[in-house]
Structure 1
């Protein structure tokens, strides 16, 4: 069995990338992001686009949107899905904290709290500065954030299963979890398994989430030249200061 300390940029590789779609339990409504892009204007950029949700849906709607992801494996799956659907798409293999693209955008967004995968405030600051550099003056950014709760003890070790396209059984479980309130991190060891023809594949990888109190994120954004326009919940209502799910709407100052 593979065990490793995995850089966040390398988490979604191999069996983890293969397992992503079969084991996914929730998808964000692409219309949320389509509406944001239509309002802010194009071109637009999705950070952490993964295997193409909602990027490909937005491209099918004719919106000028490109994607960025740190996982080459996930981007390859995105390209294959685009080809199968007859959708043209431009994607870039880069980390969101090290953006260097040849154009600027009127809208930058993340679909879901992918920003929480950045391991610390320094990486978050680098990503926010990169977003600002790639936004046109007055451009908008949409960044969902999440404060994770500890996993209930009864869910640790519980196995979820799904079937891959080739009929192999994919398995997922949480092996252990540690939480550091000072560093604002929660790290779970996740096990992915593939059981089909031949020898089974089993890997364990650490999954780190880093969270932000609202004032901390607003300060990081302001230091990067991004003014907070609104902070809402998933339903678009004003978020409480201690909310665990927040969507930040930022504007390039």
Structure 2
């Protein structure tokens, strides 16, 4: 997973040509069909795979913390002739009027939550928005340190108006105790009449398998399975995993 794969906010439109992550919609369509609708995609961004699922006729809504990305999603939906419902909220502070049979993330966006406390808040929000017995699908990733020769390396692309777009990782810090990796990203745009440079930190937070299972359990979610990116049972040291969780009914009297 490259940091640029999850570009957000004010760079969403200007740096769209640099986007390189577009999830295959098929596994998520299969999950929604199995778990049931309605469904909710967390971190839906500008509409991949949300719009593809809507084109299949599936009852799926989206939520994202970036108003700019959601506006881009709405424009794409309109251009494609697809009706879509999206909500502007942070996943750790979900408050939607509907409950769902399925909640999922279509990539390791959960790793963008900065610490375990925020992650538990998000998991509790997922549980509140699932019907009893509903399912959640959460991909997770343990990032590897960037190779030294990649620090400072510039990726380029050309915008629709001919401007040159540049992206680079300026520096990177990793804390094994906090399980965080923070990169300083630089976005540049150079046109005939103007140039702009934007720098921002990009924090990734990862989890141990047992640690994430404990967070999920505390939120009322039972781990049903943990698979790797090929759909097989994940090894304990797998760097990419997909957690399938189930919303447990509250104890009697609650």
Give the TM-score of the pair, scaled to structure 2.
Answer: 0.93
Instruction: Give the Cα separation in 1 of the matches to 2:125 and 2:112.
Output: 16
Instruction: Give the Cα separation in 1 of the matches to 2:15 and 2:107.
Output: 15
Q: Tell me by how many angstroms 1:19 deviates.
A: 4.7
Name the SS of the counterpart of 2:187 in structure 1. strand
Give unmatched runs, 5+ long, in structure 1: 1-10
Q: Counterpart of 1:96?
A: 91
Give the TM-score of the pair, scaled to structure 1.
Answer: 0.94
- Which segment is superposed worse, 51-60 or 18-27? 18-27
Q: Counterpart of 1:14?
A: 10
Give the counterpart of 1:24 among 11, 14, 19: 19
Deviations 1:178-214 (A, max 9, x none): 0001110000000001112422110000000000000
Which runs of structure 1 show a deviation greater than 6 angstroms over 4 or more consecutive aligned residues?
none
Asked whether the equivalents of residues 15 and 165 of structure 2 are also in contact (C-alpha less than 8 Å), the reply is: no
Instruction: Give the Cα separation in 2 of the matches to 1:86 and 1:245.
Output: 35
Are residue 85 (structure 1) and residue 80 (structure 2) matched? Answer: yes
- Which segment is superposed worse, 90-99 or 163-172? 163-172
After superposition, where does 1:1-80 map in structure 2 within 5 Å? Answer: 12-15=8-11, 17-19=12-14, 21-80=16-75
Instruction: Give the Cα separation in 1 of the matches to 2:153 and 2:96.
Output: 42
Instruction: Give the Cα separation in 2 of the matches to 1:20 and 1:240.
Output: 36
Are residue 233 (structure 1) and residue 234 (structure 2) matched? Answer: no
Give unmatched runs, 5+ long, in structure 2: 1-6, 249-254
Q: Tell me by how many angstroms 1:167 deviates.
A: 2.3
Deviations 1:115-148 (A, max 9, x none): 0000000100000000000000000000000000
Q: Tell me by how many angstroms 1:26 deviates.
A: 2.9
